[in-house]
Amino acid sequence: KKKLKVVRAMRKKGKDTEAMLEIRKLGEIASTVPSQPTRVQIYNEWAIQEARRGDWDAVLAVIGLMKTNDAHPDVLTYTAIIDAMGKRGMLHQAKQCFESMRRAGVRPNRVTFNAMLAACARAGSVETGKQVFGEMGASGVKANEMTMGAYVDCLVRGGDVEEAARVVETHPAAQGLVPRTALISGMGRQGLIDRALEEFEKLKTSGLTPNVKTYTTLIHACGLNERLDLALSLYDSLLAAGLLPDVMLFEALIAACATAGDIDEAFRRYRELLSRGLPPNRAVFNSLIHACAKCGKATRAFVVFDGMVSAERIEPNVSTYLALANVCLMVGITDEKGRVVLEKLQEYDAKGVQKAGLKEKIAGMRRIFEAHAAGEELAARAQRPTPRRVTSMGPGV
């Protein structure tokens, strides 16, 4: 149990590789653990880790081991896998897990339905979200504020903002802070920043008090719409309201600085995060690299990357390498660092990772490497001595 606790702590800190190595070691001896509940916990954590990696075949293998070793998957197992696959944007696999759960006779609870709705939201699948929401009602599981937050998020991510607004206004469980924050977030993502601000004001006049997450959501929306001035103003309002910013808020604020190309402000907010004793996470470092890319600061970008990996021991993800690819493409980096970035992106592509801009960045990186190779060939040709042409004048000359 102590080792399992250590593994979970590693996962929460973003140390995915170390956590995976340790949980696989535990998984190998799980069948010898006398306590059936402990075996289930070990296999659950293992399945979650594999799901977080997006390895569906490995997830199925772990579930197979659970059944073999009298540690049958329960509602927590299936729900955790659905949640992890959903966070990877793998809605198809989340749906497969949901269907397997019902075939196994395991009844989904509210948390399960909430995870499925969240998965639909991340995939922008409005139709599937509506279907899941309908099934939830038909099965007698009552929706709560978190349910409605996920459902509203699904609607707005799928572009149905008007339906989302109608649900917030009419559904009894959608009157709370979570659904209204989801509506604000969705409007911001759709570029409707003015409507998002209107909803924010409406939220305050309805008697609800915005929390740090509400401010974070709106600051994130400002960043997406390149309104850094408004994002900074909202941050000042948050402090004036006596709220304490967390890492997630700084993520949004630094990302807004990066999108605006204000590298000095991005690093200023990063230093403020550190001064408040908050640990920077992967998203913070990714945004700092993105800020460097926007300004063409290649050396600084790779210094940030080195600090992320070496000092903080945070594992990079596909977004990290996409941000580095932006640096490489802007400056034309074709050395060993650039080659590593290209190789990593190709690995993600080979694994079937779906990420906006991935294939385009790979194609762009290949072009600069090809152009560099062609340039080197031309330079090499230019340095070769031109062979002298000897003309024969015939005998006796």
Residue 324's alpha-carbon distances to 107, 226, 395, in angstroms, are: 45, 21, 68
Cα(166)–Cα(169) distance, rounded to whole angstroms? 5
CA dihedral 299, 303, 304, 306 (to 10 degrees): 140
Token representation of residue 393: 């004048």
Is the confidence at residue 353, as pLDDT, over 90?
no
Task: Name which residue leads in pLDDT, 76 or 373.
Answer: 76
- pLDDT band for 239, please (50, 70, 90 cuts): very high
Residue with tokens 């995915």: 16
pLDDT the model gives residue 385: 62
Q: Which residues of 81-95 are buried (b: 16+ CB within 10 A; e: fewer)?
A: bbbbbbbbbbbebbb
Cα(35)–Cα(31) distance, rounded to whole angstroms? 10
DSSP state of 106: P
What are the helix (H) ranges across 124-227?
126-138, 145-157, 161-170, 177-189, 193-205, 212-224
Residue 46's alpha-carbon distances to 7, 18, 22, 26, 58, in angstroms, are: 10, 13, 9, 9, 9
Q: Report the mean per-residue pLDDT for the chain.
A: 87
What pLDDT digit, counting tens, does each position of 50-104 carry? 887 778 788 888 888 888 888 788 898 899 889 988 888 889 999 999 998 998 8
Do residues 273 and 250 lie in contact, with contact meaning Cβ atoms separated by under 8 Å?
A: yes
Long-range contacts of 210-215 (CB under 8 A, 24+ apart): 210/177, 210/241, 211/177, 211/243, 212/238, 212/243, 212/244, 212/245, 212/246, 212/248, 212/249, 213/181, 213/248, 214/177, 214/180, 214/181, 214/184, 215/243, 215/249
pLDDT the model gives residue 286: 94
Cα(18)–Cα(7) distance, rounded to whole angstroms? 8
- pLDDT band for 124, please (50, 70, 90 cuts): confident
Query: Per this entry, what is the length of the chain?
Result: 397
- pLDDT band for 22, please (50, 70, 90 cuts): confident
pLDDT the model gives residue 34: 81
| Phi-psi label, residue 141: left if phi above 0, alpha if psi -120 to 50, beta otherwise | beta
Name the nearest CA neighbour of 97 among 121, 80, 120: 80
What pLDDT digit, counting tens, does each position of 130-180 carry? 999 999 999 999 999 999 999 999 999 888 899 999 999 999 999 899 999
Task: Name which residue leads in pLDDT, 163 or 2.
Answer: 163
pLDDT the model gives residue 77: 87
Q: Tell me the three state secondary structure of residue 41.
A: helix
Rg, Å, the chain Cα set = 26
Token representation of residue 217: 């959501």
Cα(94)–Cα(78) distance, rounded to whole angstroms? 9
Across the range 115-140, mean pLDDT stands at 93
Is the confidence at residue 223, as pLDDT, over 90?
yes
What interhelical angle do 177-189 and 193-205 show, nearest 10?
160
Cα(238)–Cα(210) distance, rounded to whole angstroms? 9
What pLDDT digit, counting tens, does each position of 130-140 carry? 999 999 999 99
Token representation of residue 39: 């075996």
Token representation of residue 111: 């948390």
pLDDT the model gives residue 17: 80
CA dihedral 145, 148, 153, 158 (to 10 degrees): 180
pLDDT the model gives residue 378: 64
Do residues 83 and 49 lie in contact, with contact meaning Cβ atoms separated by under 8 Å?
A: no
pLDDT the model gives residue 265: 96
Q: How far is CA 201 from the centre of its chain?
A: 29
DSSP state of 114: H
